[in-house]
């Protein structure tokens, strides 16, 4: 493995998943901020890293990887300990399905470019945008709560930290940010608390850079 560089944005929840995975595995990476409010994700330099114009991107030497779940699976395969996926195929499939509730079906609908499209191209006001966010975050988080009720323990799946928790934590941050009521998600809130009881977790939290304050 070469030098790890994470191209991220402080408030990116997809990037936060990767920060959590790196920290869980005790891997050091340098961070290069890509300002989404300054549209740096669509700069020629960043498009050369990721033609989608999104963060995160992880560089491992000359290898450039995008898509947070693919990045985390790469880290899992190159650094299996501690594991973020269960050992058995059924457990692995269940954890991936929980992670994808967030990563495939909730998060993309609240992404910056989608919200901008709603506001700027479809002329929706802030009340409509908030209603959109609450609808899709609420639906997905309720499904994940049901998953955790069936399969969870200390964490979203069983009693070991997994990829599912790495997707949950940033999405709960987004839910609070956009004012979605989450008190009716006790299993998810307990799993979030279990993550932040881990000694390395707090250091992954989003920190607003001085320059944008
Ligand atoms: N499925 C991608 C999603 C990446 C993504 O949507 N990143 C957001 C930040 S969380 C982004 O770069 N948004 C920029 C934009 O919308 O222009 C992943 O998991 O990495």
Question: What is the extent of the structural domain holding 64?
Answer: 4-82
Tell me what pLDDT residue 139 has: 98
Please check whether residues 61 and 94 belong to one and the same domain: no
pTM above 0.95, yes or no: yes
Q: How far is CA 87 from CA 6, 72, 93, 198, in A?
A: 27, 16, 10, 21
Q: How far apart are the CA of 181 and the centre of ligand 1, in A? A: 24
Q: How far apart are the CA of 108 and the centre of ligand 1, in A? A: 7
Residue 202, domain member (yes or no): no
Which CATH number does the domain housing residue 166 bear? 1.20.1050.10
How confident is the model over 107-166, as pLDDT tens digits? 999 999 999 999 999 999 999 999 999 999 999 999 999 999 999 999 999 999 999 999
Please check whether residues 191 and 96 belong to one and the same domain: yes
Please check whether residues 94 and 71 belong to one and the same domain: no
Domain count, the chain: 2
Residue 212, domain member (yes or no): no
Mutate to test the pocket of ligand 1, among 111, 119, 120 (most ligand atoms within 8 A of CB): 111
Which CATH number does the domain housing residue 14 bear? 3.40.30.10
Please check whether residues 63 and 114 belong to one and the same domain: no
Residues 125, 127, 133: CA angle, nearest 5 degrees: 105
Question: Which ligand 1 atom sits closest to the C-alpha of 69?
Answer: 19
């Amino acid at each position: 493995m070469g030098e790890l560089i994470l191209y991220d944005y402080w408030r990116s929840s997809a990037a936060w998943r990767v920060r959590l995975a790196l920290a869980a595995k005790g891997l050091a990476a340098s961070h290069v901020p890509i300002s989404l409010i300054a549209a740096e994700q669509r700069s020629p330099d960043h498009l050369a890293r990721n033609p989608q114009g999104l963060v995160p991107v992880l560089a491992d030497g000359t290898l450039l990887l995008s898509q947070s779940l693919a990045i985390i699976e790469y880290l899992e395969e190159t650094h299996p300990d501690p594991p973020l996926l269960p050992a058995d195929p059924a457990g692995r499939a269940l954890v991936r399905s929980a992670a994808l509730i967030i990563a495939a079906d909730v998060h993309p609908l609240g992404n910056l470019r989608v919200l901008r499209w709603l506001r700027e191209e479809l002329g929706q006001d802030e009340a409509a945008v908030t209603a959109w966010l609450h609808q899709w975050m609420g639906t997905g988080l309720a499904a994940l709560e049901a998953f955790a009720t069936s399969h969870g323990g200390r964490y979203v799946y069983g009693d070991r930290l997994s990829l599912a928790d790495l997707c949950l934590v940033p999405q709960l941050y987004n839910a609070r940010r956009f004012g979605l009521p989450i008190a009716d998600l006790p299993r998810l809130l307990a799993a979030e608390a279990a993550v932040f009881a881990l000694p390395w977790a707090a250091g992954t939290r989003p920190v607003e850079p001085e320059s944008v304050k």
